């Protein structure tokens, strides 16, 4: 349930990003992660979790996680959406379950079959034939970021736990985005957001970052990347639902059929527990 909720919340990113479309990209993302980092660090303090100094290997993983899984992923999603709309990036991200199933080791047959069904459903739901070369390149960057978001976290979770991993990675992402923003946007990196933009930034910081990250990293050690990756198929489904709720677009019959295939694929992949589905690690107290 935690993994499903996490990926559904991440999937609302594309729709909600429309609220901040006119806000400076890098400044907005830096502000989002700054707010999220403050919240996560406060939660860490309230729960009495002591600071754990990362080892050299963990520091490299955290840096890669922040750069690829947070900075690259979100910027690529926004830029791909700007280039041709959300359909193409949704289709490419629909392949995440298959990518994680293969990257997580030798997947169990049911996990691989379920991942293929999820990919088919996500592709059907988001549609084919739209987009351009620029949008495709950005979408492929988003795919790399989404896969890195899970794989680079696996070696961190046993000792750092879900809360610390989320807090440390979001903290590292802030100066990265700020530096990119200063280089590309100059003094225009930040401005006072409109009420709608403030609402969008708050949603991205609290719901898509704090809540979704925690739920995903709590579920990842138990499920392993192969089985957990099945839930990434909910990302384009969530984008469809968000578009309908915000009045951007109503789902078509193909959208609904694709969503049904995604759910069916998840059920197939989870129907039998098999250690070969992915590497399972033991989470810490957080």
Q: How many residues does the chain have?
A: 286
Distance in Å from the first CA to the final CA of the chain: 18
Going by pLDDT thresholds of 50, 70 and 90, the confidence category of residue 5 is very high
Give the global pTM.
0.81
Does the pLDDT of residue 84 top 60, yes or no?
yes
Q: How far apart are CA 112 and CA 122, in angstroms?
A: 15
Q: What is the rounded average pLDDT of the residues 166-184?
A: 94
What are the structure tokens assigned to 94, written together?
């629909």
| Residue appearing with tokens 């949603």 | 203
| pLDDT (tens digit per residue) in 193-252 | 999 999 999 999 999 999 999 999 999 988 888 788 888 878 777 877 877 787 766 667
By the 8 A CB rule, do 149 and 156 touch?
no
Can you read off the two tokens belonging to residue 29? 């993302």
**Mean pLDDT over residues 17-29, rounded?**
86
Question: pLDDT digit string (tens) for 47-68?
Answer: 999 999 999 999 999 999 999 9
Give every CB contact of residue 253 below 8 A, 6+ residues apart in sequence.
none
Query: What pLDDT score does 277 carry?
Result: 43
Confidence of residue 164 (pLDDT cuts 50, 70, 90): very high
The answer to whether the beta carbons of residues 249 and 127 sit under 8 Å apart is no
């Amino acid at each position: 349930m935690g993994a499903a909720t996490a990926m559904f919340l991440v999937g609302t990113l594309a729709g909600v990003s429309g609220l901040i479309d006119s806000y400076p990209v890098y400044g907005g993302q830096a502000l989002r992660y700054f707010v999220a980092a403050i919240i996560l660090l406060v939660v860490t303090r309230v729960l009495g979790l002591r600071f754990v100094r990362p080892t050299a290997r963990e520091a490299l993983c955290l840096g890669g996680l922040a750069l690829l899984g947070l900075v690259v992923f979100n910027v690529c999603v926004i830029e791909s959406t700007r280039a041709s709309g959300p359909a193409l990036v949704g289709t490419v991200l629909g392949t995440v379950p298959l990518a994680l199933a293969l990257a997580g080791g030798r997947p169990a047959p049911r996990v691989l079959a379920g991942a293929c069904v999820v990919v088919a459903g996500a592709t059907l739901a988001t549609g084919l034939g739209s987009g351009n070369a620029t949008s495709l390149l950005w979408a492929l960057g988003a795919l790399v970021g989404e896969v890195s978001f899970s794989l680079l976290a696996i070696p961190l979770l046993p000792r750092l736990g879900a809360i610390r991993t989320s807090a440390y990675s979001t903290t590292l992402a802030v100066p990265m985005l700020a530096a990119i923003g200063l280089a590309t946007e100059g003094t225009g990196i930040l401005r006072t957001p409109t009420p709608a933009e403030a609402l969008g930034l708050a949603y991205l910081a609290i719901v898509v970052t704090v809540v979704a990250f925690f739920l995903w990293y709590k579920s990842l050690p138990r499920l392993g990347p192969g089985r957990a990756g099945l839930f990434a198929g909910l990302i384009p489904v969530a984008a469809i639902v968000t578009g309908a709720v915000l009045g951007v677009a109503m789902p078509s019959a193909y959208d609904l059929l694709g969503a049904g295939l995604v759910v069916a694929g998840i059920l197939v992949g989870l129907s039998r527990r098999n250690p070969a589905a992915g590497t399972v690690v033991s989470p810490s107290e957080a």
